Amino acid sequence: MIRGTVIGHVWATRKARGLDGQTLLLVAACDAEGRTTGRLVVASDTLDARAGEDVTVAFGSGARNVLRPGAADNKDVLCDAAIAAIVEGAE
Amino acid sequence: MILGRVIGHVWAARRDARLQRAKLLVIRPHAIYEPAFATRHLVATDDVDAGVGDDVIVCLGAPARASAGGNDMPVDAAVLGVVDRIDWQGDAMEAPGAGPGIKRALDGVGELARGESASFARRAPSREGSGTL
């Protein structure tokens, strides 16, 4: 997982059926000190994250487990990055 | 997922049997999170009939295979959506390390107003003038 800051919302009308119902947020990846780096990831959101909030983003099968837990049978979930937590503090 | 722009097609007469019907697009990522993509491009299958110049959402890894037809597909990137609009807040594009790809993407889109909040729309000739896009 990485830390990041939500900076926006991505809208797409023409999309694969598997993306229906997913909220796609634009997340700027942070460096080790928590500063945004300008590198962007599009992550699926189930936690109602808002712009400006710090989040952790899970990739790969971890991201699919956010949307549908169960590593054995969720390979058809069309998601490779998902917001796993909204960060309230870090030190 | 990552954002990128379609910059071309790939044709291949000799290809894996499972790819016979796949349309292969060349994508320039607006942002990168895998060092393997330091080549500044990737080739992705297309599910949504994207065209050159479209800003697209590209999914990597197992979901790309699922989208392309199944877990045994020889694919690791797929275009899953065409971006209509991005609501953009904050100063990420001014942050240290903001990739040239991001700035290029935003510079290319016209009506971006830097500052508190901004949005950009894709420039598809067929949609120009529709207002909301």
Structural domain for B93, as ranges:
85-127
Do residues A17 and B85 lie in contact, with contact meaning Cβ atoms separated by under 8 Å?
A: no
* Cβ count near B42 (within 10 Å): 20
Of A5, A15, A26, which is closest to B80 when you measure between CB atoms? A15
Are residues B70 and B100 both part of a single domain?
Answer: no
User: Residue B19 — pLDDT band, cuts 50, 70, 90?
Assistant: confident
Q: Is the pLDDT of residue B115 over 70?
A: no
% of chain A exceeding 90 in pLDDT: 47
The answer to whether residues B90 and B39 belong to one domain is no
May I ask the CATH architecture of the domain A2-86? Beta Barrel (2.40)
- Kindly state the average pLDDT of the residues B71-96: 79
Is the Cβ–Cβ distance between A27 and A4 less than 8 Å? yes
The beta strands (E) that lie in A12-80 are given as 14-15, 23-30, 36-45, 54-59
Give the one of A38, A42, A78 whose C-beta lies nearest to B2's C-beta: A42
Structurally, chain B folds into a number of domains equal to 2
Mean pLDDT of A69-73: 80
Q: Does B91 lie in the same domain as B38?
A: no
Name the closest residue on chain A to residue B119, using Cα atoms: A8
**ipTM of the complex, rounded to two decimals:** 0.85
**C-beta separation of A81 from B1 below 8 A:** yes
Task: Flag whether residue B73 sits within 8 Å of chain A, measured between CB atoms.
Answer: no
B73 and B16 together in one domain: yes
- Evaluate if residue B107 carries a pLDDT over 50: no
- pLDDT of B31 reads 66
Residues B64, B42 share a domain = yes
Give me the residue spans of the domains in chain A.
2-86
Query: Contacts of residue A19 in chain B, CB cutoff 8 Å?
Result: 57, 80-81
Tokens of B65: 């295979």
